[in-house]
Structure 1
Amino acid sequence: MASRLKVLISAYGCEPGKGSEPGVGWQLATHMARLNDVWVITRANNKAAIEAELSKHPIDNLHFCYFDFPAWARFWKRGPRGVNLYYYLWQLGIRKLARQLHAQVGFDVVHHATFVKYWVPAGVAVVTAPFLWGPVGGADTPPLAFWPGLGCRGFVFEAARCLARWIGEHSPSLHFTARRAALALATTPATAARLKKLGTRKVELLIEAALPEQEVQALKKLPPPPSEPFRFVYLGNLLWLKGVHLAIHAFARCGLPKTELWLIGDGPYRAKLVNLAEKLGIAGNVRFFGKLPRQVALQRLSECHVYVHPSLHDSGGWACPEAMAAGKPVICLDIGGPAVEVTNECGFKIPLRSPEETVYLLAEAMRRLYLDSDLRLRMSAAAQKHVEKEFTWTKRVEQLNSYYHMIVNTQE
């Protein structure tokens, strides 16, 4: 059995009972404390939820340290507004705390866990212990041919994102982070290439998303959908960069009888998507559910046959693993985290060469899964096995712990 290490984890997002990056921070910290002695630096505004959970369910060998700037210094940050700038400043702000903790504890390894943005420096990189960076992502960008379809806001957002990455990649602090990393974990090949260009010595691929074992089993036990109507489903925010307009175009192109496209989620792009469905003459077959409570959303997922995830860039995400755990074949684009998460045995990965060709290939994948029940059943079984093998938190933490010991042994 491997010896226990003293580990410092930086997790800006870390909160019990949450999904996405706050869930990553919490799940990583609590699972890793079973194997090592863990200290976590996170935001002070996570403290109430964390301390309330630990008072009910104490966890040995897990210690939290909280940092935020004073209220007067962050008055401009309200919810998601200003989060990127505040996150950058927070990383710089935790450096002193990380050094102080290292002087007191003497860490064997330090680990930057959340957020997943590769172009922001990691504050814990200043600690003179072996440093694991990631998984980080964010380098994937859709081809320029797809930008006009994003609409004005989406176009501006993507342009601003590219500018932010360019500025970040020229930051001395980011280059210091890259040089300090004994190992960097990238969520996608595109991010791996950027990390190598920044000067990181060793880079490996590892997807960020994982699910608790009990959730995998619960999803596996969801009842099968009715035979009719045949339903395709998307679950997520209705944002321009999620590519839902491509799915609607593809669904219209299919023209399959007794079929529906269910869209579960909400966002600023919803009105345009409703108008698009009406314009294409399929409004009666496209259902907009809005944002649903999680259990209701999963019930709706169980009533569908195929999961469609046409996102134009996601570093990873939980939607595809959750859908696969529920036995749904996945149709996604061959870009970003979903292209790493989904194998050819579990679904279809559609290349991005032009919007027209992508819509055609999305429609063909929909048609194949509609017509070929044997293929659908094989992909369903393969998807569930894939999740059980690769996407549980026990598996992910074992992988990260092996990386801890590898960089510690290499350093020695």
Structure 2
Amino acid sequence: MKILLSSYACEPGKGSEPGIGWNVAREIANYHQVWVLTSNTHRLAIEDELARNKVPNLNFVYLDPFGWVYDWSYEGKRSQMSVYLHYYLWQIMAYFVARPLHQKINFDVVHHITYGRYSSPSFLVFLSVPFVWGPVGGAESAPKAFWQKHSLRARVYENLRNLLRRFGESDPFVHLTAKKSVVAIAATEETAQRFAALGCKKIEVYGAVGIPKADIEQLIQISSTQCRPFRFISTGRLLHWKGFHFGLRAFAQTNLPDAEYWIIGDGPEREFLESLAQELGIADRVNFWGTLSRQETLSKLGECDVLIHPSLHDSGGWVVLEAMAAGQPVICLNLGGPGIQVTKETGFKVPADSPEQAVNDIATAMMRLAKEPELRLKMGEAGRERVREVYNWEVKGKYLAQIYQTVAGNS
């Protein structure tokens, strides 16, 4: 079949949204002819990759509104409002580029991939071609009970995030996107509920993130050695909603005087987290590694035993899958993407009823995994198997290819 993918963010060798866009396109090209609409931001990286590794059936169309190519190199200077504006204008332009392309090629299915945000529309629904939406997320919120522990800055952030989401839901084009989708794929249960409220007819829940087969094999080779202190690890940007402060408080409650806690990443919460470790009396056993390369991060992961990922609203959770592929149990909150990725066989999904309860439950899970090596090994092996069977990009590509067959056959 002829498939048109809308993938604003799409780049080989990347994680997050660009990685999702690229891996979906790459896998779908194994089954169908694919045209990808994306931003010129990613053009150089895509063309370099295709020059080295040509992919039959994969074509790219680059576009940006009014020639405005967003410069992502100014990581700390960009405004979120300008990102939203650029993305919205890009979506409008994508329709006007896709319409003559469709008249020429006659697409069988149109599929929106990135951005994976349910509260933003896709104007490609007006092409009168079966439209698949997602997986997308974004409906996840920090439970209100946890806001009392937030700083003023964090509360402002959460309020603005909720306001933008409600503003998006009021957009009539978002409602049209929902109603015209033949299948809406939610990355999380929270997003599935919002899909239903928006009027989506057929909803499936399926995680957005995955791991390439080669990366899975590399992660499987990572094995932690026991001739060292027992170690917990958290990795990601140090933001309030990542919940690393819950991990530190839980670690302080454990009766594990010889254990260590490693934190990889940097961000605005680092100074607070370092002060908290001092206040809790655990600073000598907590190591803040800062920002590391991917290879360095994987090396550190291999020197640890359990991943702590107490995020309050993650749609994805790449590090969760990487830890599972490396054979490490995961302790997370039962929220968002990690709440779907982790099962009772692969780790502990802690309820998020209150900050105190969550910290106590995380501490209990930490002690169990530290003191029960057989349980830890059993969960680690189950995690590896789950990634192979569910979160391998090859598996996800087959899933999407089957959806295309179904929707095209019913049109």
TM-score, normalised on structure 1? 0.96
Written as runs of structure 1 = structure 2, the 5 A alignment for 1:16-35 is 16-35=12-31
**Contact persistence 2:134–2:184 (CA under 8 A):** yes
Give, in angstroms, the shift of residue 74 of structure 1: 6.9
Give, in angstroms, the shift of residue 18 of structure 1: 1.1
- Where 1:362 maps in the other structure, the secondary structure is helix
Confirm or deny that 1:113 pairs with 2:113.
yes
**Contact persistence 1:77–1:83 (CA under 8 A):** no
Give, in angstroms, the shift of residue 152 of structure 1: 2.1
**Distance in 2 between residues matched to 1:6 and 1:99, nearest whole Å:** 14
Residue-by-residue CA offset, 1:104-129 (whole Å, 9 max, x unaligned): 11000000001111000013222211
The equivalent of 1:267 in structure 2 is 267
Q: Which amino acid aligns with 1:203?
A: I
- Where 2:150 maps in the other structure, the secondary structure is helix
**Distance in 2 between residues matched to 1:72 and 1:336, nearest whole Å:** 33
The equivalent of 2:308 in structure 1 is 308
Residue-by-residue CA offset, 1:128-155 (whole Å, 9 max, x unaligned): 1100000011111121111132322221
- Where 1:340 maps in the other structure, the secondary structure is helix
**Distance in 2 between residues matched to 1:202 and 1:95, nearest whole Å:** 23
The equivalent of 1:226 in structure 2 is 226
- Where 1:402 maps in the other structure, the secondary structure is helix
Residue-by-residue CA offset, 1:302-351 (whole Å, 9 max, x unaligned): 00010110000101121111000000000000000000001110000000
Counterparts in 2 of 1:63 and 1:268: CA distance versus 1, 3 Å: same
Give, in angstroms, the shift of residue 73 of structure 1: 9.2
The equivalent of 2:126 in structure 1 is 126
Confirm or deny that 1:342 pairs with 2:339.
no
Specify which of 37, 42, 45 is matched with residue 41 of structure 1.
37
Give, in angstroms, the shift of residue 235 of structure 1: 1.2
Give, in angstroms, the shift of residue 385 of structure 1: 0.8
Please report the RMSD computed on the Cα atoms of aligned residues, expressed in angstroms.
Answer: 1.6
Specify which of 54, 59, 82 is matched with residue 58 of structure 1.
54
Counterparts in 2 of 1:394 and 1:249: CA distance versus 1, 3 Å: same
Give, in angstroms, the shift of residue 379 of structure 1: 0.5
The equivalent of 2:391 in structure 1 is 391
Written as runs of structure 1 = structure 2, the 5 A alignment for 1:288-367 is 288-367=288-367
Specify which of 63, 73, 87 is matched with residue 67 of structure 1.
63
Give, in angstroms, the shift of residue 200 of structure 1: 0.6
Written as runs of structure 1 = structure 2, the 5 A alignment for 1:91-106 is 91-106=91-106
What percentage of aligned pairs have identical amino acids?
44
**Distance in 1 between residues matched to 2:84 and 2:155, nearest whole Å:** 18
Counterparts in 2 of 1:258 and 1:133: CA distance versus 1, 3 Å: same
Confirm or deny that 1:150 pairs with 2:146.
no
Give, in angstroms, the shift of residue 285 of structure 1: 0.7
Counterparts in 2 of 1:75 and 1:49: CA distance versus 1, 3 Å: closer
**Distance in 2 between residues matched to 1:117 and 1:251, nearest whole Å:** 34
**Contact persistence 1:77–1:86 (CA under 8 A):** no
**Contact persistence 2:41–2:70 (CA under 8 A):** no
**Distance in 2 between residues matched to 1:200 and 1:125, nearest whole Å:** 13
Give, in angstroms, the shift of residue 255 of structure 1: 3.4
> Runs ≥4 in structure 1, deviation > 6 angstroms?
72-77
The equivalent of 2:201 in structure 1 is 201
**Distance in 2 between residues matched to 1:381 and 1:72, nearest whole Å:** 47
**Distance in 1 between residues matched to 2:240 and 2:224, nearest whole Å:** 31
Counterparts in 2 of 1:72 and 1:347: CA distance versus 1, 3 Å: closer
Give, in angstroms, the shift of residue 174 of structure 1: 0.4
Q: Provide structure 2 residue ranges, at least 5 long, that are not aligned to the other structure.
A: none
**Distance in 2 between residues matched to 1:215 and 1:364, nearest whole Å:** 32
Q: Which amino acid aligns with 1:281?
A: G
**Distance in 1 between residues matched to 2:130 and 2:292, nearest whole Å:** 43
The equivalent of 2:190 in structure 1 is 190
**Distance in 1 between residues matched to 2:277 and 2:407, nearest whole Å:** 52
Counterparts in 2 of 1:72 and 1:39: CA distance versus 1, 3 Å: closer
Residue-by-residue CA offset, 1:80-113 (whole Å, 9 max, x unaligned): 4222232122212211111121111100000000
- Where 2:97 maps in the other structure, the secondary structure is helix
**Contact persistence 2:255–2:367 (CA under 8 A):** no
Q: Provide structure 1 residue ranges, at least 5 long, that are not aligned to the other structure.
A: none
Confirm or deny that 1:408 pairs with 2:408.
yes
- Where 1:41 maps in the other structure, the secondary structure is strand
- Where 2:184 maps in the other structure, the secondary structure is strand
Q: Which amino acid aligns with 1:131?
A: F
**Distance in 2 between residues matched to 1:72 and 1:177, nearest whole Å:** 25
**Contact persistence 2:65–2:86 (CA under 8 A):** no
The equivalent of 1:380 in structure 2 is 380
The equivalent of 1:10 in structure 2 is 6
Confirm or deny that 1:249 pairs with 2:249.
yes
Counterparts in 2 of 1:73 and 1:34: CA distance versus 1, 3 Å: closer
**Contact persistence 1:131–1:183 (CA under 8 A):** yes
Give, in angstroms, the shift of residue 290 of structure 1: 0.5
- Where 1:315 maps in the other structure, the secondary structure is coil
- Where 1:366 maps in the other structure, the secondary structure is helix
**Contact persistence 2:110–2:132 (CA under 8 A):** yes
Moved more, 42-51 or 102-111: 42-51
Counterparts in 2 of 1:75 and 1:329: CA distance versus 1, 3 Å: closer
Q: Which amino acid aligns with 2:64?
A: D
- Where 2:173 maps in the other structure, the secondary structure is helix
Q: Which amino acid aligns with 2:118?
A: Y
The equivalent of 1:371 in structure 2 is 371
**Contact persistence 2:39–2:69 (CA under 8 A):** no
**Distance in 2 between residues matched to 1:115 and 1:317, nearest whole Å:** 16
TM-score, normalised on structure 2? 0.96
Give, in angstroms, the shift of residue 56 of structure 1: 1.9
